Amino acid sequence: MGCHNLIEPSPITQIQIKQTSTVYKTYHQLLKAHSRTEATTLVKDYCLNTSPKTFEDRLAYLEFLYMNDFYQEAESLLNTETFTDEATALYQILLDRKKSPLTYQQLRKLESLEFQHPSTQCLHFFTIVYGYYDLKRFTGLDKYMEDCFESLNKVNEPLFHYFMKLRFEELAFQHYWKTNNILLAKKHAYKYLNKVISPHQLCKMNHILALCHVFDSFEYSFEYAQTALKIAKDYELESSINSIENHTIPFICAFHQRTEHITTADPIETAHLAIADRDFKKAQHILLPLKNPTPFQQTYLGVATNSKEMLISAHERFKHENGDLFFANLPIHYLNRYLF
């Protein structure tokens, strides 16, 4: 309770605030008296059962539902007559990309759109950057950084501004992580974690921070993974539980060769654990039958078969196929470790 102050605009931001949505007022009051979870549920019900009075209200309804993972509820509002304005198309794109990443053609079309309202302008630029990330082009934020900043500084409603700042911190984190600027990535991650965010987003950020630390600290990496797993279990996030238990924790432990009592249902990470134990024959048995291995699988196979060429190839594939300069470090670490 008492985290209402986290969603309040700063004194400098207050200058640009011209209107206040009913959702912000409701959420702000509820956070004074209820836990984050309770307040969020109550505001969700408010959005679904109360008609918005202004355009800023409609934006705040949709943004609140979307940023708190109420995707079906947001979709239901988009299908009503009340929500038939310029923001509808952007939210439909955001919801659709949850099911299928944007294509190059869809991104080009998205870039051709224009919006006049400062809030929809801001959301438009952020949605474009999401499109670049869908295409594994994590330098996309560089192209739109100035536009994102300028539009963010024009958003005139406090709740929408709060969520746009959250979006920016997350986009910046992803950008700096994947371009291997880890100190800057962590800076934006910590800012993000100190906000009122959904359990899923809290779990996700701790989960990714576990991976961010994997090359420099087993203790930090494992601790963030355990934090993410606890959140996932507390809120019954089954997909996250499976990912953390069967992929992330075994990956961290295999990389740091801390394999005692570590098991996984995933055959690829089973091979990785075998490599950590120097059981290369077991790893080969799992990995050699693979067709079209991913860069991760190719890295493990390169170690298991003592192939320097395969590790170098995996390094290049991480960079050029995945746009991932961070995990491009993985085959290099294994090259150095096993002195090919």
pLDDT at 114 over 60: yes
For residue 290, give the DSSP letter.
-
Q: What share of residues in the chain are helix, strand, coil (percent, to 5)?
A: 70, 0, 30
What are the tens digits of pLDDT across the range 129-146? 999 999 999 999 999 999
State the pLDDT at residue 168: 95
Contact criterion met (CB below 8 Å) for 168 and 148: yes
State the pLDDT at residue 85: 76
What are the tens digits of pLDDT across the range 49-60? 999 989 999 999
pLDDT tier, 8 (very low <50, low <70, confident <90, very high otherwise): confident
State the pLDDT at residue 308: 96
Q: Which long-range contacts (CB under 8 A, 24 or more apart) does 214-222 make?
A: 214/251, 214/252, 214/255, 214/256, 215/255, 215/329, 215/333, 218/252, 218/256, 218/258, 221/252, 221/256, 222/249, 222/252, 222/253, 222/258
Q: Cα(279)–Cα(54) distance, rounded to whole angstroms?
A: 64
Average pLDDT over residues 249-260: 97
Task: Report DSSP letters for 103-164, one per residue.
Answer: PHHHHHHHHH----SHHHHHHHHHHHHHHHHHTT-TTHHHHHHHHHHHHHTT--SHHHHHHH
What are the tens digits of pLDDT across the range 167-183? 999 999 999 999 999 99
pLDDT tier, 2 (very low <50, low <70, confident <90, very high otherwise): low
Q: Cα(6)–Cα(194) distance, rounded to whole angstroms?
A: 8
Q: Cα(197)–Cα(91) distance, rounded to whole angstroms?
A: 19
pLDDT tier, 339 (very low <50, low <70, confident <90, very high otherwise): low
Contact criterion met (CB below 8 Å) for 237 and 231: yes
pLDDT tier, 340 (very low <50, low <70, confident <90, very high otherwise): low
Least confident interval from 28-42, 78-92, 213-227, 255-269: 78-92
Cα angle, residue 184 at apex, residues 183 and 185 outer, rounded to 5°: 90
pLDDT at 84 over 80: no
pLDDT at 338 over 90: no
What are the tens digits of pLDDT across the range 187-197? 999 999 988 78
pLDDT at 310 over 70: yes
pLDDT at 229 over 60: yes
Mean pLDDT over each residue of the chain, to the nearest integer: 94
If phi > 0 it is left, if psi is from -120 to 50 it is alpha, else beta; for residue 339 that is: left
Average pLDDT over residues 205-220: 96
Number of H helices, E strands in the chain: 20, 0
Cα-Cα end-to-end distance for the chain:
56
Structure token pair of residue 154: 């024009």
Q: Say what percent of the chain tops pLDDT 90.
A: 87
Closest CA to 256 of 210, 297, 215, 293: 215
